[in-house]
Structures are given as C-alpha cells and as structure tokens.
Chain A
C-alpha cells in the first residue's frame, strides 16, 4: 500500500485531532462561575493548628482545631456560653438528675435525632461515648516512667475519667434512646460530665465503630459493653479482644488529614458536615441538611484555614482571604489590627493566669518570710508592664480559684485578704523580716519574655525589702521538668482555670496532689476539698471554694499575678455576630449566630 505525501499528512492530522478530543474534559466548555443556590454566604476562619482527626477525644486527636470541627459537626446535650454558663440544648436531648443520693442522672436523646446517614443517634452512641470516657474497663498499670507494665488501656481518652469512672454500666431505656448513670458517690461536676459540645458532644457513631471493629452490628456493641467488668489495675484481666478492636478503631480509625473516601468516618449529627479537606491547608464544612435539633446557623458554609503566624493571619484578614482570626495576642498584633479599616477587634481575658508560688520549705518555711515576700511583689507594676499594652483596663487577679468572669470572683476576692497585696508594702516587708536578708531563688521559664519581665520586676522590688533574689530561670525545655523537684524557693508560671467545673481545684491544692509543686498542705483545706468533690449544688460549691481561697491566702501561699489576654478580630464590614469566648472553643462557640451581611 502506498500513500501520497498529502494523504499521509491528513492522516496524521486526523489521528492527532482524535487524540486531542479524546482527552478533552468531560464537562464540556461550560464556564462555571458560581455554585448552586447559596443564600447564607460563607465565612472563613483562620486557625493556628492543622486538622488531623475526626475524633477529638483521643490523646493524638486532642488538638484544638479538631475539637472545633467536632463542635460544629456533633449534637450534644449542652454547650458553654461566653459567660461560662452551661446552656442545655433540649432539642437534641435532655438530662436530669433523678436522685441526689445516690446521684443518678438520666440522659435521653430526642426522637428524630439522626446521624447524617439516617441512623438514629441513640443509646448505643451514648453507651460507646460512656465506655470511652469513663475508662470503665481499663486496667493498665504503669511504672514511674509511664510505661505500661500490666493490663490494658482500651481507650486513649484524653479527658479526665475520674467523674464518669464513678458510674456503673448505664441502664438503657426509652426504646433505646436513653441511658441512666448511677454514681457510686456524689460527683461535683456531674452536670458537665457527659455529652457537652465543647468535649466533642456525642462523639463517635456506634454503628460505624461496631462495624469497623468487626462486630455484627450496634446491638452487638451494646451487648459487649453491657457484659464488661470494671477494670482493676491491681488484678488485670485477660485483654478482651472484641473491646480491644473497638478501642483500637476508636483510638486511630478516625485520624485523617484528608477527607476519607468512606463517608461513614465523618458522619455528622450537628449543624454542619465536613465537605472537603485540603491537607494542612483548609477544611470546609457545609450545612447538614437533616439537622433540626438545636440552634440553626444562618451561614451555609464555614471554611477553616490553617495559618501559623499572627502577622500572616492579620494580612490574610486584610486581604479578605479569611473573615475571622484569633492569633496569639501581642501589642504588635493589636496595633496591626487596629490600623485596618472595617475590622473589629475583641480583646478580653483568657482562662489561663500567671502566678507566683512560694515553696513551703527552705527559706520560705517561715510564714513571716513568705508574707514579707508577698508584700514586696509589685503586682500592679507587673500588670502595667505585661498586660496593659494589649488590654488597657487590665488589673491584677485577686483570687487563686476564680476569674472575674465568674460571679463568685468578687465576693471571694474581697474576703480573702488579697487587698493587702494590691501595692507593694516595702516597709511592712522590712518590719516582718526584722533585719534578716533571706536568699530567694526564683525559677521561671527564661525563654518566655512575660515571665522574665515579671521576674525582674519582682527582683527589683524584693531587693528593696532586703531579700537577696537569685535568678533561677531555666530554658524553655528544662524549666517544666524542674517543677516540684526542689532547688528553688519560688516559681513563676501559669495555670489554666477550667471556667466551669471544680475538679481542677484539688489537683493543685490538695496535699500531695500531682500539680501541688510547692508543698502546700492544710488539713482544713483538704477536708473542704473532699467535701467540694461530692457537692453537687453550684452555689454550695462556690461557698466551699471561697473558704478554701481564704485559707490559701491566709497561709501565704503565693500570689496570682494576672490573667492572660485573648484576642480575636473579624471583618465587621462583612460578618456579624462574632463574640469573644475565653475557653478553648474560642469564637466558634456561637457559630450559629454568625451572619454574612447582605446575604
């Protein structure tokens, strides 16, 4: 066969045209400019950390941004508002205290509440949540280094198991929509013990976990949990293979930086559902169409973009790439933000606070020396140097237990004797020292400029009173390990007030507790704390803490210095309804009130 030159050329051209049209995109030439009917608009929020897991309750998944995604995609019995009140969502379900002694609480999910795949949210889900958060079957024992020596930890739950750990296996009722928890002794924080949105709500769907763990169905999981025995670290039982499979899947099965192909891994029972994820860059949530059990958001879509550094967040806000930011607060950042038109900046207290603790040993074994040192601390000057540049109306914190956002703060602060330390009293300190010149070594994190500033101000003032202050500051990587190990007389660092709940109190102040680094011990305070932990009336709790506050101040424990400052800013030309919130949920706490102007 012979072809002419031209027919060859035509043949080549035809083949080429065919090849090109074969690889054309299927969609044709349609110009896609917008998307389907959007009415509420979209809001984009900047976050520091990157999304990494759909289960924010595990040790690995316990990153703030995962918790925020869970907050928007889960149903829960209550949330915490910006004034640190517990706000129940009765449209999702109810919980009530059935009896005080023994403490019995019944949780009921409302009929019609479903996961986004149509499966109802029911007792199975509550039970799975309970078994993970109570650590009921865990019987692992670990040595000093933290190594597990015997037994098994089934669920790597990142939260505190001591509350739900008091409960027995719950009873299921109301056609499988309720569980009833019976506590072995009264538990102070019962109201925030289970199913709160800020802790991930009713976290993982039981029917999915059951299936992925190789169980027949959700009922098999319920039967498995009902058949469990309480774990005893002293007498570890043989590992339960089925529960181990459930635990392993719960621990790691929902970890994913990208959107899994299997939609059952990111079911939603809340207002939004995850729509797309760009690993380490952004996550987009859209409305969950079936949701009608609780506050309804007015926006259609939320995008969270991950931006690490504060100045970059500010520029992204300025360029309209994000609408809401919550960067690390600093005087520079505030200045940058204030210079942008149409941006509203919210600056307010956070729940963490810096404090000066005096060891009840060494030079400070003598109460007079402690009092003299406390008298010489310039708290107002520290606040002026560190907090004032960011928040103009900042004041020293006057309670070891409450923050000003809580109602009990004012009476407690007025009664605990903190007013004696409002301004340094050098003469009073000199009088107490009576000519002695004790040497005080203060330990703090040298690499934290705020702590270093506080140290130098305290040093300057205390030396006037006759103290010899030695700089015991350590680098960022060493100071934490040195806490409680001795070798210093006083320390400056930070605690985080939980805002709601009282379980954190004994952790710091009870004799021999894990975070009681300075050796504070007072039998009366211990007794009050024991009482506190079994007191379930909030008003009674406040009264007890107020008494403990007074005891702590009277024993010259040390001084709270100031509350850290939080910051959020948003494009108020475009967005409204953003309200500051001091706890870890941040601005997301009322995302259902966010609105895009003009939409």
Chain B
C-alpha cells in the first residue's frame, strides 16, 4: 500500500513538472504583454516598456524564465522556511497573497453549491431509480439535462434579471396578484401529480391537494405581508417539526419502531421548549456559539435516543438526532428571519436585498445575523446557477449506480429472507450505491478549488477563476502559474484520495501491491 502511494506521488510530481512547463510556455506565448504600450503615443513610451520588461523579466526567453519561476516555487516545498516565492503579478502584488485571497473567495462561493448539489442530486437519483420509467423519472431526467445544457452565463443573467432585480422590485410592494398565485398553484398541482403514485384518481387528488396548498400558502404570505416581516413562529416549527419527526423516523427506523418515533417527537418538543429561552442567547450570537449549539443539538438528539432505550437504541438515536438538527435549523432560520427587517431597512441595502455582484455589501455594519443575511443574499444567485448545472451529473450517477445495485443478487436475497422494503433500500442498497458517488465527489472537490471561471466573472466574484482569466488576458504568467499549481496539486491529490477511498469502501476492490 505504502509503495503504491509513494509511486503515485512520484508520478504526480513528474506530471506537475511537465504540465507546469507546458502551461508556463503557453501563457507566456499567448500574447504580447507590451501590446498596449506599443500602441501608445505617450512621450515616455520607451521608459514604460523598459519598466515592464524589467518587472516581468521579458528580456529572458520564456523557457528560461520558467526555470527562474520554478526556482522560487520549489522553495514552497521546503517546510518551515516560509520563503515561498511564486513571483509577482503585473500590478506588483505577490502571487502567494493573491492566491490565498482568491482561494478563500472560491471556497466561499462553491462550498454551498457543492454540498447542495451532492445532497439534492443523490436524492433525486435514488428516487428516480426506485421509480424507474415513471413520469417522475422522465421529468427529472428531462429537467436535469435541460439545466445541464444551459450555458451558465445565460442562466446567471436571467437569474439576475428575475430573481434579483425582479424580486427586489416585488419586495417594494410585496403583494402577490391572484393571477400569479393561480399560475404557481397550477405548477405545484402538476408537480404533485407527477410525484404521486398509484391510480389516476389518486394522482388527481394529489394534484388538487398541491394546488390548494400552494394557493393557500401564497395567499397567506401575501395577505400577512410575510415578505416584509418574515418569520416561522412556533406554530410552523411545531407542524413542520412533527412532519420531520415522522419523515426521519420512516427513513432511519421505520414507523413501526414506536420508540424511534417517540424519540424524534421528543426532540421536536425539546426544540419548542427551548425556543424562547434561546432567543436572548442568540441575540449575542457568534460563529463559535452557533457551532457549539450545533454540537449540543446533536448531543441532545443522541441523549434522547439513548434514554428512550429499547432493543435497538441506534435507530432511536438516528431518528432523534436527525430531527433535532433539522428542528434546530428551523429555529436558526427563524432567527435570521427576525433580523430581516433590520437588514432590509439598512441604508446601504435600501430595500433591494438580493445582490447581483460580489460577496458582501461594502461597509455594511450589523450584527451576526445581518452579516449572515448579507452573505446569503450575495451567495444566493451564484449558488443557484452552479447548483443547476452540477445537479445533472450527480443525479445521473446516483440513479445508474442505484439501479445497478437494485438488480444485484444480494438485494434479491434480502427480499427473499423477508426484509421490509425500507431496510432493503436504506440499509442494503443505498449504502452500496454511494460507493461510486464517494469517489466522484472526492474528485470534484479537487476541481472545485480551481474556481468557476464564468460564474465568478458574471457575479464579479474575485476567486481563482477570475484571478486566472484576468492574468491570462494581461499575459501575466505568474498568477496563472499560481492558480495552475494549486488546481494541479488538488486534482492529483484528490485523484489519489478517490482511488484509495474506493478500495477502502469496497472490499471487492483491493489495490495490488
């Protein structure tokens, strides 16, 4: 095993060296870094050209300049010296500094989208696999491919136009006209029809339910001016909490396991009881406090499940912990909503909260919740754009992987020995279906750090992609090489991790030493 890893790392270094040489040459030869000055008729043109030549060492041919760069970059490998030198960008900024900043921005931008894409994509994939060739399956497949093939810059511009500018205009006078309610309710009805299973009569009933439910909620939101002063309140948390308790129990233990259900319901009750005592504490929230509360929430869930006892405490614990986390999430969401009027009325927001550019409102001063809302309103659109295009691959992988597993002999065996469908799907099929997904996710994480060039550009997000593209336009090899180095190393390392992960997760695959 160790020899295998060492061998892989050694080839990785060789690949990096070769690729970096190639990328450096391509960048250096991709254009004329003096183009703008040659066209200049400024009296001090020669002097300006000379300054730039000196700054970028243009008097040294590109292949030799590469080795000069390599000399600096090699110092990064020497640990504890801290003399990492990746050179300077045209504007005099050290590349190491620019990279650090850009990486932070890119991680901020893509993390949410990546997690959502995996969770939603895998869920969709599993559900469509379980209901293969149904309307739902065809519908999801169609939508996934539709979004996948949309150009992201176009999606981004549409999102800005309607989800930002249009929605902000709507917020000025948050009243939903009846025609809009009707249309949205109709769409909801159709979705319910597609998702429901059984006879046509039953599905039509579901469609009507969906229609009435959507229309009712929208009407209530409009009448109560919910968009101006949003909030969940205890009632909604209670209703949704009970629903979550039942759902979590169904997945984690099955509704027949009464102890698990009572554990989940107890978790909801604890959340509701703690709602008011927590408010003064939340008013002074910090990130650390929220993290501690999250840990406490999970512990409470585990505690409830443990205390409930029974022959299989693990099922109680799972059901209660999942419920506790989700209910706590709702309490958190409710707190964010309480801060909404303050955020909305802030003079720098000026009643137009959904942003189209950047990651924060400049000079916005507010508490933890207002800052959180600000990050949310800025990340909302780019996250949706990234989510839409990456949903497709995860849902397809998950679907095909699940289908393959469901046709396996051991699934048939599990059914034959009388296991319930929930146990078969959740315990025997689902876990094994995740193995190929895990390796894909590991690989994608490596790619994510490279940034989403177009999305970053459209949303004026100063991440890795932006750094790369701007340096390339200026024919400035140092930042390009910095980005390449980070993404290259990430790709190679996560490739290795994906391979190792596969053999760790799936005992059938073992690396030949």
Residues of chain A whose beta carbon lies under 8 Å from any beta carbon of chain B: 16, 19-21, 23-25, 27-35, 38, 42, 44, 50, 52-53, 58-61, 63, 142, 145-148, 156, 158-162, 252, 255, 257, 275-276, 278-284, 301, 303, 305-309, 311-312, 315-316, 318-321, 476-481, 483, 493-496, 498, 503-504, 506-508, 514-515
**Partner among B48, B284, B346 whose Cβ is within 8 Å of the Cβ of A25:** B284
Interface string of B38-80 (1 = CB under 8 A from A): 1111111111111111110011000000000000000000000
A30, A158, A159, A321 — most chain B CB neighbours (10 Å)? A321
Task: Decide if A28 touches B92 in the complex (CB within 8 Å).
Answer: no
Across the interface, name the chain B residue whose C-beta is closest to A63: B91
A399 CB to nearest B CB, Å: 15
Task: Decide if A31 touches B367 in the complex (CB within 8 Å).
Answer: yes
Instruction: Report if B8 contacts A (CB, 8 A).
Output: no
Task: Decide if B362 touches A281 in the complex (CB within 8 Å).
Answer: yes
Residues of chain B whose beta carbon lies under 8 Å from any beta carbon of chain A: 30-32, 34-36, 38-55, 58-59, 90-93, 97-98, 101-102, 105, 157, 160-161, 164-165, 168, 280-281, 283-286, 288-289, 292-293, 296, 339, 342, 345-348, 350, 352, 354-360, 362-363, 365-368, 370, 457-460, 462, 466, 470, 475
**Partner among B30, B36, B42, B161 whose Cβ is within 8 Å of the Cβ of A160:** B42
Knowing A52-B91, A147-B54, A312-B356, the reply to whether A478 touches B32 (Cβ < 8 A) is yes
Task: Decide if B289 touches A321 in the complex (CB within 8 Å).
Answer: no
Task: Decide if B347 touches A307 in the complex (CB within 8 Å).
Answer: no
A258 CB to nearest B CB, Å: 8
B93 CB to nearest A CB, Å: 6
Q: Which residues of B contact A19 (CB under 8 A)?
A: 292
**Partner among B32, B41, B281, B362 whose Cβ is within 8 Å of the Cβ of A276:** B362
What are 9 A-B residue pairs whose CB atoms fall within 8 Å in the complex? Answer: A20-B292, A29-B283, A31-B342, A59-B48, A309-B457, A311-B157, A320-B352, A480-B32, A480-B36
Q: Which residues of B contact A34 (CB under 8 A)?
A: 346-347
Task: Decide if B41 touches A504 in the complex (CB within 8 Å).
Answer: yes
Q: Which residues of B contact A42 (CB under 8 A)?
A: 347-348
**Partner among A63, A257, A307, A495 whose Cβ is within 8 Å of the Cβ of B41:** A495
Task: Decide if B359 touches A160 in the complex (CB within 8 Å).
Answer: no
Task: Decide if A316 touches B357 in the complex (CB within 8 Å).
Answer: yes
**Partner among A146, A279, A282 whose Cβ is within 8 Å of the Cβ of B49:** A146
A156 to B53, CA, bound (A): 12
A502 to B288, CA, bound (A): 62
Task: Decide if A480 touches B460 in the complex (CB within 8 Å).
Answer: no
A494 to B120, CA, bound (A): 53
Q: Which residues of A contact B356 (CB under 8 A)?
A: 312, 315-316, 319, 321
A58 to B352, CA, bound (A): 39
Task: Decide if A477 touches B44 in the complex (CB within 8 Å).
Answer: no
Across the interface, name the chain B residue whose C-beta is closest to A254: B92
Q: Which residues of A contact B157 (CB under 8 A)?
A: 311, 315
Task: Decide if B367 touches A61 in the complex (CB within 8 Å).
Answer: no
Task: Decide if B475 touches A281 in the complex (CB within 8 Å).
Answer: no
A507 to B284, CA, bound (A): 65
Task: Decide if A281 touches B280 in the complex (CB within 8 Å).
Answer: no
Knowing A145-B59, A257-B93, A476-B31, the reply to whether A23 touches B43 (Cβ < 8 A) is no
A319 to B380, CA, bound (A): 15
Q: Which residues of B contact A25 (CB under 8 A)?
A: 284-286, 367-368
A162, A278, A481, A495 — most chain B CB neighbours (10 Å)? A278
Task: Decide if A319 touches B46 in the complex (CB within 8 Å).
Answer: no
**Partner among B53, B105, B350, B370 whose Cβ is within 8 Å of the Cβ of A146:** B53
Across the interface, name the chain B residue whose C-beta is closest to A340: B165
Q: Which residues of B contact A148 (CB under 8 A)?
A: 50, 54
A160 to B40, CA, bound (A): 13
**Partner among B30, B50, B357 whose Cβ is within 8 Å of the Cβ of A477:** B30
**Partner among B48, B283, B292, B368 whose Cβ is within 8 Å of the Cβ of A158:** B48
Q: Which residues of A contact B458 (CB under 8 A)?
A: 309, 312
Knowing A142-B50, A504-B43, the reply to whether A282 touches B362 (Cβ < 8 A) is yes
Task: Decide if B359 touches A281 in the complex (CB within 8 Å).
Answer: yes
Task: Decide if B360 touches A281 in the complex (CB within 8 Å).
Answer: yes
Knowing A34-B346, A321-B352, the reply to whether A281 touches B358 (Cβ < 8 A) is yes
A252 to B39, CA, bound (A): 27
Q: Which residues of B contact A23 (CB under 8 A)?
A: 286, 288-289, 292
Q: Which residues of B contact A63 (CB under 8 A)?
A: 91
Task: Decide if B39 touches A33 in the complex (CB within 8 Å).
Answer: no
Task: Decide if A282 touches B358 in the complex (CB within 8 Å).
Answer: yes
A586 to B338, CA, bound (A): 43
Knowing A24-B286, A27-B367, A281-B358, the reply to whether A59 touches B51 (Cβ < 8 A) is yes
A252 to B51, CA, bound (A): 14
Task: Decide if B31 touches A50 in the complex (CB within 8 Å).
Answer: no
Task: Decide if A279 touches B462 in the complex (CB within 8 Å).
Answer: yes
**Sample of 7 further A-B pairs with CB below 8 A, known A33-B346, A480-B39, A503-B43:** A20-B281, A145-B58, A148-B50, A311-B157, A315-B160, A477-B475, A495-B41
